Amino acid sequence: MSATTTTARPAPAAETRIGASDWTAIGTQIRLLVTNPGRLAAARAILESDLDGLDRACSRFRPDSELAALDAADGRWVTLSPLLTEALGVALDAARDSDGDIDPTVGEAMSALGYDRDFALVAPSGPAIKLSARPVPGWRRISLDRGSRSLRMPPGTRLDLGATAKAWAADRAATRIAQRLRCGVLVSLGGDIATAGPAPRGGWRVRVQDVTGHPDDLPAGPAQTVALTGGALATSSTTARRWERGGAVLHHILNPRDGLPAPTIWRTVSVAAADCVTANVAATGAIIRGRAALARFEQQGIPARLVDLDGRVFTTGGWPPVPSGAERDR
């Protein structure tokens, strides 16, 4: 991935009246901000419609979703909706650009580890399961003709678009809302944050932390507030979406090369980029690459904040430094 212009900086006090709405959808926390409070209801209606379409097309957990129906394709060519075609195209582009760190064919491996339903329904603990290290089928075995919206994949392959779909949806919704309503907008889908239109004076204030939470709540673990004047920011974390089986702690970021949760080197990685898909691919890839990600970010000038298991914070590419003694930003 190419380096991006830094969009994060230390956050000043807010100077613009902002319309805000928070709710839960697609199994995650949604936050919507607009620079014109009078247009908040219309903006929320657009975002809710987008998220409903995303869920119907791309959910791994809805038995009536278009993605779930692909389990019965059995190696045949199938025709996709425009929405799923675009979402899968984004996932395959991410796989290519990340050298395979992000791979949409991890669906079966994820289910085998116990993440086979909406995360709120996953038991936090349970009996031991056999962990078998083996590569996932691999994104290169997916044939997608975007022009005809046709897909073919090996029998038994199950897709999971979780690494890219929310980020893509955030980018798409923010752009659509800004264009339709002619205002500045921030869309956060579980920590995948995209902005569009003019930012408020002082920028969008964003608190970066281990687990996505309401901004009025105290942060869990190391946290920092920054301002986005444009672009996007994404955070990947091994402290969120965790569960235990037989005492073994598992999480949702899998290494496609062995189908197992990536070793927990970083508890949190946050990246600022021109768009949310780019930011999220970089952040998730860093969890998988471990310590090597730090040098890569430094070499490429990628604005990032990485927090290791001991709570030590590393920043690269112009990410704003943490004020001394103020890492737990309240």
Listed in sequence order, the residues at least 6 apart from 1 whose beta carbon sits closer than 8 Å to its beta carbon are 97, 98, 278, 281, 282, 300, 302
For residue 315, what are its two tokens?
A: 């920043």
Q: For the chain, how many structural domains are there in total?
A: 1
Q: With respect to residue 322, please indicate whether it lies within any of the assigned structural domains.
A: no
Q: What is the pLDDT along the chain (330 residues), one digit of tens a residue?
A: 222 333 455 544 445 689 999 999 999 999 999 999 999 999 999 999 999 999 999 999 999 999 999 988 989 999 999 999 999 999 999 999 999 999 999 999 999 998 888 888 889 889 988 888 899 999 999 999 999 999 999 999 999 999 999 999 999 999 999 999 999 999 999 989 999 999 999 999 999 987 666 666 666 667 889 999 999 999 999 988 888 988 888 888 999 999 999 999 999 999 999 999 999 999 999 999 999 999 999 999 999 999 999 989 999 999 998 765 545 443
Q: With respect to residue 327, please indicate whether it lies within any of the assigned structural domains.
A: no
Q: With respect to residue 3, please indicate whether it lies within any of the assigned structural domains.
A: no
Domain that holds residue 44: 8-316
How far apart CA 151 and CA 76 sit, in angstroms, is 8
CATH number for 224: 3.10.520.10
Radius of gyration of the chain (CA): 19
Q: With respect to residue 130, please indicate whether it lies within any of the assigned structural domains.
A: yes
Q: With respect to residue 323, please indicate whether it lies within any of the assigned structural domains.
A: no
Q: With respect to residue 330, please indicate whether it lies within any of the assigned structural domains.
A: no
Q: What is the DSSP string of 43-90?
A: HHHHHHHHHHHHHHHH-SS-TTSHHHHGGG-TT--EEPPHHHHHHHHH
Give 141's DSSP letter. Answer: G
Q: With respect to residue 44, please indicate whether it lies within any of the assigned structural domains.
A: yes
Q: With respect to residue 329, please indicate whether it lies within any of the assigned structural domains.
A: no
- Number of residues assigned to the chain: 330
